[in-house]
A and B are shown apart, each in its own frame.
Chain A
């Protein structure tokens, strides 16, 4: 069964796996306290993998490997490419922070991150219930370990426990749902499941039963209300480097697994999951935005803001099918994809700033810790302000176009209820604007409590500036990325 086409489809993943092992081995010989060799080796390997993905995605082929266990399509490769870059950026931001906190005694942070990325890649390209589940487990198990990496810190350990218990439960939900669907349809293969359900010969009740568990499991992973409890605690408790590892790249994978399961596998049940997603979206927008207002801890506030942002992603995902007709699919799913990419890009820079401001023995995770940042460093204050305006959806930042495309997909359905939901969503984003603006206020309007200048290594400085600039530049010329999302989703749906 292992033929060359199959190997082709997972070539980047093979490279990733080999390099993860090589990094772990090489690290044994590294003695420098900042693990420079391991770090450079990780970045180089990831850079290579990202290039491979971009190359595959650009070729535009859709190939199935290992008897349709995995797929190699442009959407998957673009998502994997962005996830790889996101992990690279995360490592750049995380290294000085980790070094200050005794997290670089071994190079686990690098090998675990690469393993997590491998898990994401498998999630993104899986075409089979079990493959998707395996990818998810690889990702989450690595993430648990990353959160627990700061072993002697009580808060981090507590966060790791919470994350593990709730995450395991979510995985259980997902697996249970999958087993129901397998029982009903007799297949683990997404395309077969699709066909069997579409034929209408399977009892609807059993399917819906399975679907509820699948959606709950996905909602856990995306962190949407009412399955959001772990998000604020883990974001706040985990070492910020690990928080970024959870908050950044994995959102791309969570989006992909949702698309693979709900659209590629369960599209004939869209009427059912649409309603679930709508409720989850409304609850997330409401709870996420309102709870974020009350936060004084920046990481916790960003956690609630993530919950609200994921609500928007769900809105994009649910607008693809209008009264049983999936003609609007490409439009809606590509808006959601654009939203996730824009979100990850912005989140990276936001946490990058938090990591940068943290020093030995000082976490800089309260909102007030940013006070007067504009006086201390106009550049980083500017980057953070751009991110906040982007998350609030103010043009000309990329976050505005993300909201625009999702709302456009929603209004395009032409249903009165959907327009009402759009009005609700913008009202909630107005509330959201308040707490994002408060961060800008603290940086620009308040007096600094400390006069220490902000210092950063060259690599962090360059990547962070580029990251912030990209949030602005993609807002001024968003066309290319939007078309890229639209093209790749259209191709995914066509196959």
Chain B
């Protein structure tokens, strides 16, 4: 079994064991078993980084076996500089989320833990699939555990949120399914993504494909104006669900743009580049302003996620190495930071059971250790140099200025909004005198919560201070992708 198969199937196998054997009476052993599962699953992704060759854009750790002979579908896996860190990030966040759900979840613990483990395996599958149908199967299958996570352990309006999440994203991906079938037939019976990259396509076909992919990936990212599902879903999802959703699931969409839209329909991507840039800028600026007006912490962070993902898509569609690498770095940084933000809200929510900013104030007085972590994540969220949030945004802005000064200027202005909504929220929740009885009775984070926060804080700082391991991995693959996109595929 190859390294990638191991990374995909280890968490899924643990998930199945938990589903089969777990009982609510033995919740404690279920928790430990899932933690072991998550850690083992994380450890098996590390050799991918250790054995990764930096000087080639070829797919590495390739595995290929016939899966569905009749449609020439292969179980074909591989990583390149674009997907490597996303896989490791997925496995890492999974560990964090399992610890974060430890005693918070008391009902159906085995199903909760199994859902996250299986989800993490499926998402690693999405990032490593080199076969179009295999990609789609993993991509769609992620909906099932997430639907259950939101619906079973979510907030008061969880059913609405679960349905909105499932149907909204399904609508997009069904159109993509037709695009995949179309490509299968155009390429004379192949689901191989690399074959599709080389396939000449007419302008009409490319436009059709670009928008069919756009339907799935833009909803998933989510880009303005199809972002409306995200705030609703985040608000109702349990803390762990929100963290995984923001940290990883949104990246599935952005990754799709890089793997499908841009290389398969490069001419359409160039043609519609400015359209994508405008949508991204609207997300960055307008949604940033919307975030400022939120009364609900989770909603605020959800809108902030949309704005940050706007940076990612902006970086992709300015078609220069700084922009694309910046977008990728931003994806990973946002993975750490948004997970940190959502888990911080979770810590407060578990104690006070309110997400309203107005219910807090002066938390720093009763929870100093926690407030320090929260400050770090807040700073990273507004892109303070030295934190993970800075690197990606700075690269994207640099790329944008190179591309067009006005675009760069508009993108940069978003940093101000980002700082405004994040710091204003921080001020209202953490600083000032304690005016609320609930806040007076708060106890600081325990060792388990400290571990969660510390793991993420280390990642945020490490990436901010020494981003080289991240950018080095991407460099060759990004250059190769852009080279490919620059060549017309019109027949």
Contacts and interface: CB of A to CB of B under 8 A. Distances in A.
A414 B205 CA distance: 12
B141 A479 contact: no
B151 A441 contact: yes
B52 interface: no
A79 B265 CA distance: 43
A405 B185 CA distance: 12
B286 interface: no
Contacts of A427: 174
B197 interface: no
B152 A426 contact: no
Nearest to B148: A444
Interface stretch (B30-38, B163-171, B369-377): B163-171
B349 interface: no
B162 A426 contact: no
Contacts of B147: 437, 440
B379 to A, nearest CB: 38
B484 interface: no
Contacts of A429: 174
B181 interface: yes
Interface string B119-154: 000000000000001001100110110011001100
Given A430-B171, A482-B70, A395 B136 contact: yes
Contacts of B158: 445
User: Is the contact region of chain A dominated by helix, strand, or loop, or is it mixed?
Assistant: helix
B162 to A, nearest CB: 7
B108 interface: yes
B204 to A, nearest CB: 11
A434 B174 CA distance: 14
5 contacts: A378-B111, A389-B144, A422-B178, A441-B151, A482-B70
Interface in A387-427: 389, 394-396, 400-401, 404-405, 407-408, 411-412, 414, 419, 422-423, 426-427
A422 to B, nearest CB: 5
A81 B39 CA distance: 46
Contacts of A434: 163, 167
B184 interface: yes
B424 interface: no
B162 A423 contact: no
B70 A395 contact: no
Given A400-B140, A419-B178, A444 B152 contact: yes
Contacts of A408: 71, 181, 184-185
Given A394-B144, A430-B171, A437-B163, A478 B181 contact: no
Interface residues of A, number: 37
A282 interface: no
A315 B167 CA distance: 24
Contacts of B73: 479
A104 B120 CA distance: 50
A137 B149 CA distance: 49
A5 interface: no
A414 B166 contact: no
Contacts of A404: 71, 133, 177, 181
A411 B170 contact: no
A289 interface: no
Contacts of B182: 411, 419
Nearest to A429: B174
A479 B68 contact: yes
Given A412-B185, A437-B147, A482-B70, A407 B167 contact: no
Give 8 nearest A-B pairs by CB, closest first: A395-B137, A426-B174, A482-B70, A479-B68, A445-B151, A411-B181, A395-B140, A408-B181
Nearest to A438: B163
Contacts of B178: 407, 411, 419, 422-423, 426
Contacts, number: 95
Interface in B44-102: 66-71, 73
B159 interface: yes
B175 interface: yes
Given A426-B174, A437-B163, A396 B181 contact: no
A400 B70 CA distance: 15
A394 B148 CA distance: 14
B17 to A, nearest CB: 14
A433 B147 CA distance: 13
Given A394-B140, A444-B152, 5 more contacts: A389-B144, A429-B174, A437-B167, A441-B159, A445-B152
A227 to B, nearest CB: 28
A400 B175 contact: no
Contact of A430 (B140, B159, B167): B167
Contacts of A423: 175, 178
A395 B137 CA distance: 5
Given A441-B162, A478-B68, A396 B175 contact: no
A275 interface: no
A70 B141 CA distance: 44
Contacts of B171: 430
Interface in A457-495: 477-479, 482-483, 486
A478 B70 CA distance: 10
A445 B160 CA distance: 11
Given A394-B144, A408-B184, A444-B151, A430 B163 contact: no
A374 interface: yes
Given A389-B144, A396-B137, A430-B170, A483 B69 contact: yes
Contact of A483 (B70, B133, B163): B70
A427 B174 CA distance: 8
A446 to B, nearest CB: 8
A482 B170 contact: no
Given A427-B174, A482-B70, A445 B140 contact: no
Contacts of B66: 479
A336 to B, nearest CB: 14
Contacts of B159: 441, 445
Contacts of B70: 479, 482-483, 486
Contacts of B181: 404, 407-408, 411, 422
A311 to B, nearest CB: 16
A424 to B, nearest CB: 11
A272 to B, nearest CB: 26
A349 B270 CA distance: 49
A105 to B, nearest CB: 40
A482 B71 contact: yes
Contact of A411 (B152, B174, B185): B185
Contacts of B185: 408, 411-412, 414
B170 A433 contact: yes
B27 to A, nearest CB: 15
Contact of B69 (A407, A412, A440, A479): A479
A444 B147 CA distance: 10
Contacts of A419: 178, 182
Most chain A C-beta atoms within 10 Å of own C-beta, residue among B66, B71, B166? B71
Most chain B C-beta atoms within 10 Å of own C-beta, residue among A374, A426, A477? A426
Contacts of B141: 394-396
A242 to B, nearest CB: 32
A412 B111 CA distance: 41
Most chain A C-beta atoms within 10 Å of own C-beta, residue among B133, B137, B143? B137
Nearest to B66: A479
Contacts of B174: 426-427, 429-430
Interface string B394-406: 0000000000000
Nearest to A433: B170
Nearest to A442: B159
A395 B176 CA distance: 14
Contacts of B162: 441, 445
Interface string B180-204: 0110110000000000000000000
Contacts of A433: 166-167, 170
Contacts of B67: 477, 479
A418 B473 CA distance: 44
Most chain B C-beta atoms within 10 Å of own C-beta, residue among A395, A400, A423, A430? A395
Contacts of A483: 69-70
